[in-house]
Chains A and B, each alone.
Chain A
C-alpha cells in the first residue's frame, strides 16, 4: 500500500475544501488532513443527519414521493436512501397471504411488524454512522401517534432531526389510479387476479383507517412536518428547521403527477463538432441544419399538447430551435460546460498541451474542474433551477449540449456520480422521458441524419495499485512537502495508465 502526498504549494494541485482522499482498490480509510483543512468546507445543507418520515394511508403516494425525493437529493449531492418497510416485511414473511396480516387485532402480526420496523431503524442508524449518509427516508404508513412517538424517541436519542411528510387524499379516483398503477403489480399480488387483488387491497386500507391519527396542527405543533392535501392542491407546513428541510419543502411543492413527457435532445451537429473540437460557440453544419428540420417534423408528428421549447444561449441550440418555428425560451443555465483553458481544443491537443489535466480528468470526471472552467459537479449545481422548473412544467423539449444532457438524464434516470459523465448522449437523437409508476420510461428516437460521434468512453486500463483522487479549486494552503508531481506521473506511466 503506497501513499503519496502531493505538495500543496504547487499551483497544479489545489484542493477543494477539505475533501481529499487517497485510497487503493481495497479502500483504506481516509488519511488525516493537515490542521488547517478542517476549517473550510462546502456550503452546509444541514449539520446533523435528518430522518424523513412518511405518514399516510396506503395508496397515498408515499413511496412515489420517497423515491422522487431521494433521487433529487442524491442528484444535488446529499447522500440519501429510502428504507421501505414493505420490503422488510416481504423479506421476513416471504409470501403474502391476504389482508388479514394487517388487521389491528392480529397480535402475532403486530409483533412481527414491530420487529421489522425496529430493524429498519437500526439500519438507518448504521447508514448514518457507517455509510456517511445524510438523509434517510422511512417509507411506511406510520399512521398512529404511538408509532411516530417511537421514531421521535429513537431520533432524539441519536441526535437526528426528524421531518414528517404526510400525504392526505380523499379523492377516490386518485386512490384507484394509484392502486391500478403500482399496487396490483407489486410482488404481494403475484398470485392474485386483478379483481381479487383490488378487493384485498381495499380491505387492507380499511385496516389502517380505523387507527389512523393524522398529524394535527395543534397537538403536533412542536414537530416539523408538511401535510400534502390531494396531490398538491394544498400544503400545511410547520416548523421548518434548516436549509435542507426548506429545499425539501420547495421541491415537494413543485412536483405534480399530471401525465406529460420531457424530450431531451442535443443541438444539431456544429462546425466545431466536425473538427473534433470541444466547447466554443459555432453555428450548425449542413448536417446539423438537416437535423433541425427533421426535429421539427418529428415534433409535429408527435402532436404534443402545449409544448414548451427551451434552449441555451449558444448559437447551435438557438439555430436548432429556430427551425421548429415555435416560440422558445433561452436559458443561460443550459449552456455547455465551460472548458476554461481547453475551450476549442481537440482531445489530442489537450493531451499534448495539458497532459496532467487530461489524466486528472479521467481519474474523476465528475469532480474534475477545467482550469478557469467548470466541473460536472458545478454543472449540476447550475442546472438545479432548470430541474425545478422542469418539475413544474408539463410537456417540454429541451435542446441542450452533451454534458448538460448527461446531467439532466442522470437526474431523471437516477444515475450515480460515477455513471453520469459517461452516459451516452449522441447527436441527432431525441430521448423521450415519460414518468411512469416509480420511475421514468425512456424512448430513444434516432432521426436518421448522420453525425460525428462525440462520446469518450471511460478509460479501462487503470491497472495501478493505487487510485489518486484530486480535486481542484482556487484554494491554496501550504501542506507537507514530499514527492513532486512529475514523479507521481512517471510512476503512473510505468504502470501503464493512460496518460
Chain B
C-alpha cells in the first residue's frame, strides 16, 4: 500500500482528542493489515519523571522541564525509527502536542534523514463544553492525577493548557503549504486537507473524516440457530430452526426494552439473518458484505467430514486460521477486506444493530476490541447472545447479553498441538509405531496430520510402515507414501 514508512504527527493543545485519534487510527490501520504503532510522548515523560507534581513542569520558562521534555521526544523518535526500519512497521503515530513550529521542524528533519513521509493531524477546538468533557473522561483518570481530587485536578489541567497556549503556532494554510496535513476543526465540523501524498494518507483522511464522538451503541449478534447449525454443518443458506425463531422474538423484545433512539438494523443477504430481522418488525438494510465466510469446497460439510475428505486442508487451517483460504472460498483476511466499507459506515452511523454470522462477527469484534490477527479467528461469538459495544474513553465497553434461548455451540477452540517454527532444512526422523489392527484409511489420515503438524515446509517426509510381529520381529513394509510439504499458504 505504501512504499516508504509514514510518520503521522499529531498537533494540538492538550485535551483536543489527539490521543483518542491516535489510538483509533492505530486500531483501524492494524485491522486493515498495515502494521502501525503509536508513540505517546506523555508515557515517556511519565517514565522519566516518576511523579507528576503540578502544571509547573509545563511552564515555558521552566528550563529543566523543557530539557526533560525534549529528551523524551527524542527518545520517542528513536523508538519510532526502530519500529519503522527494523521491526517492519509501516506507520508510526507520534502522539504529542507538537505545538511549536520549531518542534515540527525537528521532526521533519528527522523524517527526511530516515526516508519517512510525514503527515500532520491537527485538532483545533474552542468549544469549552467539548474540552471539559474530554478532561473529565480521560484526563482525571490518568496516572498524573491519581493523588488529586477532581477539582484540583481540573484546575491544574486548565493551567497546564494555558502553558501551551502562548507558544501555540497552528498549522497555517500559507506558511505550511508544502506540508501534508489535515486540520480537524471542532470535532469534525470542518476539515482543511493539504497535499495528500499517497494511498495510505488518502485512506487516513477518509477515515478521520468519517469518525465522530456522539455517544451511541453498536449491537452485534448472530442470526438465530439455523437448520444447518443443528446438523453441525458449516456455511450454506438455510432457514431458522424452531429455537432460532424463538431467539428472533426474544431479540425483538430485547431491542424494544432497550429504548434505543433511531436504531438502524443491518443484516446480510442470507436467509437466516433476514428471518431474524423480520421478526423485529422494523425496517432493515441488507448488506452482501455481511455474508458469512465462503467455505468454498467445504460448504455444508461437518468438521469431521472436512477432516476426512480434505485432511491436509483441515490441518493447514489450524496452522494459520487467519490467512488460510478455503479452496474456491475465502479467508478471514479476505473477510476483513470485504468488511472495511461496513466498518467505515458503522463509524459514520450512530445506533446500529448488526445481525450477522460467526466469522463476520469475529472480524467486527476484533476491530472494536483491537484484537490481533492471531486472536481474531478464535474469538467467542456464541449463538443467541447480543454484544453491546459502547465507545468509552480510549476504548470500547462490552456488555454481553445472553437471551436465554438454547442453541448448539459452534465454536472450535485453537487446537493444542501447534507447529513450531524451526529451520526448514533440518531433518528430523521420527519413528511411529502403528498397530497392525489399524485400518489403512486411518493410517493415511494419520500420516497427513503428522506431516502437517510436525513437518517443515519444503522438505519431503517419507513414511515407512513397520509391521510388528510377535513383539520381536519387525517387518519393514514398502515406504508408505512420500508427501511433499507445500508452503503454508493454501494455493488451490
Chain A interfacial positions (CB closer than 8 Å to B): 16-17, 36, 38-44, 217, 221, 233-240, 243, 246, 249-250, 253-254, 281, 332, 372, 378, 381, 389, 392, 473-477
Contacts and interface: CB of A to CB of B under 8 A. Distances in A.
A249 B182 CA distance: 14
Given A39-B278, A41-B285, A332-B334, A239 B190 contact: yes
B209 interface: yes
Contacts of A372: 299
A234 B173 contact: yes
Contacts of B348: 243, 246
Given A39-B278, A246-B206, A281-B492, 10 more contacts: A17-B286, A36-B278, A41-B284, A221-B190, A233-B195, A239-B189, A243-B348, A246-B348, A250-B202, A253-B206
Contacts of B202: 250, 253-254, 392
Interface of B: 173, 177, 189-196, 199, 202, 205-206, 209-210, 237, 239, 266-267, 269-271, 274-275, 277-278, 281-288, 299, 334, 337, 345, 348, 492
B269 A475 contact: yes
A234 B282 CA distance: 43
A16 B288 CA distance: 11
Given A246-B210, A476-B239, A476-B275, A43 B287 contact: yes
A38 B278 CA distance: 11
A234 B285 contact: no
Contacts of A477: 278
9 contacts: A41-B284, A221-B189, A235-B194, A236-B191, A237-B193, A238-B191, A381-B288, A392-B199, A473-B269
A316 to B, nearest CB: 14
A42 B195 CA distance: 35
A378 B266 CA distance: 18
B80 to A, nearest CB: 26
A246 B209 contact: yes
A476 B273 CA distance: 11
Among A239, A253, A392, A474, max chain B CB count under 10 A is at A474
B194 A39 contact: no
Contacts of A39: 278, 281-284
A184 to B, nearest CB: 32
Contact of A43 (B190, B270, B334, B345): B345
B337 A40 contact: no
A405 B1 CA distance: 23
A235 B191 contact: yes
The 7 tightest CB contacts between A and B, nearest first, are A235-B193, A237-B191, A474-B237, A234-B194, A238-B190, A474-B270, A250-B206
A372 B270 CA distance: 11
Contact of A236 (B190, B270, B282): B190
B440 to A, nearest CB: 32
Contacts of A474: 237, 269-271, 274
Contact of A234 (B192, B281, B345): B192
A434 B309 CA distance: 51
A237 B209 contact: yes
B423 to A, nearest CB: 29
A283 to B, nearest CB: 13
A44 B274 contact: no
B285 A44 contact: yes
A217 B283 contact: no
Given A233-B194, A234-B173, A476 B274 contact: yes
Given A238-B189, A332-B337, A392-B202, A40 B286 contact: yes
B194 A473 contact: no
Contacts of B206: 246, 250, 253
Nearest to A38: B283
A474 B267 CA distance: 12
Among B196, B286, B334, max chain A CB count under 10 A is at B286
A126 to B, nearest CB: 28
B492 A235 contact: no
Contacts of B274: 40, 474-476
A235 B208 CA distance: 14
Contacts of A240: 209
Nearest to A232: B196
Contacts of A239: 189-190
A114 to B, nearest CB: 32
A41 B209 contact: no
Contacts of A246: 206, 209-210, 348
B193 A253 contact: yes
A389 B199 contact: yes
A249 B271 CA distance: 35
Contacts of B285: 40-44
Given A234-B195, A474-B269, A40 B284 contact: yes
Contacts of B267: 40
Contacts of B337: 332
A253 B278 CA distance: 39
A234 B178 CA distance: 10
Nearest to B189: A239
A217 B287 CA distance: 37
A239 B185 CA distance: 10
A249 B270 CA distance: 32
A486 B209 CA distance: 52
A44 B345 CA distance: 11
Contact of B190 (A217, A281, A378): A217
B271 to A, nearest CB: 5
Contacts of A281: 492
B175 to A, nearest CB: 13
Contacts of A233: 177, 194-195
Nearest to A239: B189
Contact of A253 (B205, B266, B271, B299): B205
Contacts of A253: 193, 196, 202, 205-206
A486 to B, nearest CB: 23
A362 B209 CA distance: 42
Contacts of A249: 209
Contacts of A42: 285-286
A382 B345 CA distance: 16
B117 to A, nearest CB: 15
